[in-house]
Amino acid sequence: MKATRTRLPGITLRDGAASDADAVARLLSVVNPDDAEAFDDVRLVLEMPHEGPLSHSRVLVVLAEDGSGRQIGALFAGPPFWLFDHPVTNHPALLEDLVARIGIISAVAVDPSYRGRGVGAELIRHAVRRFTRAGYGMLTLNCFPALEGYYKRLGFTIMDDLIVHLRDGRMAGPVWDDTRVAARPLDRHTALATVPGLGSPVVSGILPGSRVPDGAYFDGEKLRN
């Protein structure tokens, strides 16, 4: 499989393969130590054929390797699952559109002996490029408080809530009480708009007709202008 060089000597990135399942599981196990099954899905993903738009359809699994071919970092990203559970977005046509435009990095981890050398940043920058190239408008992630500054330096905006404007003032977003959200617009159509009445910026322009109009405000139910 084609490896991508990084600016770090000897470190390359490549898409995950079925034979990487144990290495990926080992690397990602530190992200959610209380839940041993948190990333079991990644094993199933790695069994899938390699096909676009990401590494495995709408999922991206990327490995970082050192010069000897040892897996030292992993990133797992794909569709935000809240879209499937949300009463507003859980409609087949809308869901299909949104899944093609919003991605989430579910987990990124670097082997403890390689941390602090920029491997994590290379994995995240690579994900930004892959999602951008695949036509996405927004990349998001749940952000541990200690890593807020880190993600800011990587071009993400940190917010209490993720709120996505759909159309005609209607909005949708996940309820994540325990973590804040990091989000990064990926194309010229998508932006984070400040809206009076809302404590977090609103994702504007993710779908055609979903731009937050100038002068929009939140009336407690929907956007008006």
Ligand X SMILES: CC(C)(COP(=O)(O)OP(=O)(O)OC[C@H]1O[C@@H](n2cnc3c(N)ncnc32)[C@H](O)[C@@H]1OP(=O)(O)O)[C@@H](O)C(=O)NCCC(=O)NCCS
Residues found near ligand X in the complex (CB under 6 A): 30-31, 107-110, 115-121, 144, 146-147, 150, 153
Instruction: State in angstroms the smallest separation of the CB of 199 from ligand X.
Output: 24
- Alpha carbon 68 to chain centroid distance? 29
User: For the chain, what is the radius of gyration of the CA atoms?
Assistant: 18
Q: How far is the CB of 31 from ligand X (least distance, A)?
A: 5
Cβ proximity to ligand X, 108 vs 195, nearer residue: 108
Closest alpha carbon to 59 in 67, 50, 70: 50
Residue with nearest beta carbon to ligand X: 120
CB of 152 to ligand X, least distance (A): 10
Q: Which is nearer to ligand X, 103 or 205 (CB)?
A: 103
Residue (17 or 121) nearer to ligand X, CB? 121
To the nearest whole angstrom, how small is the minimum distance from the Cβ of residue 222 to ligand X?
33
Strands 102-110, 138-143: pairing kind: parallel
Which one, 171 or 183, has the nearer CB to ligand X?
A: 183
* In the complex, least distance from residue 191 CB atom to ligand X, rounded to whole angstroms: 25
- Quick check: helix, strand or coil at residue 108? strand
Residue 47: other Cβ atoms inside 10 A: 10
Identify residue 49 by its one-letter amino acid code. P
Most distant CA pair in the chain, distance: 58
> Is the Cβ of residue 117 or residue 189 nearer to ligand X in the bound state?
117
Give me the least distance between CB of 111 and ligand X, in Å please. Answer: 8
| Helix ranges (DSSP H) in the chain | 21-28, 41-47, 82-85, 92-99, 119-133, 148-153
How does strand 180-185 pair with strand 157-159?
A: antiparallel
Number of neighbours of residue 217 by Cβ within 10 angstroms: 11
Choose between 24 and 195: whose C-beta lies nearer to ligand X.
Answer: 24
- Nearest Cα residue to 207 out of 83, 87, 106: 83
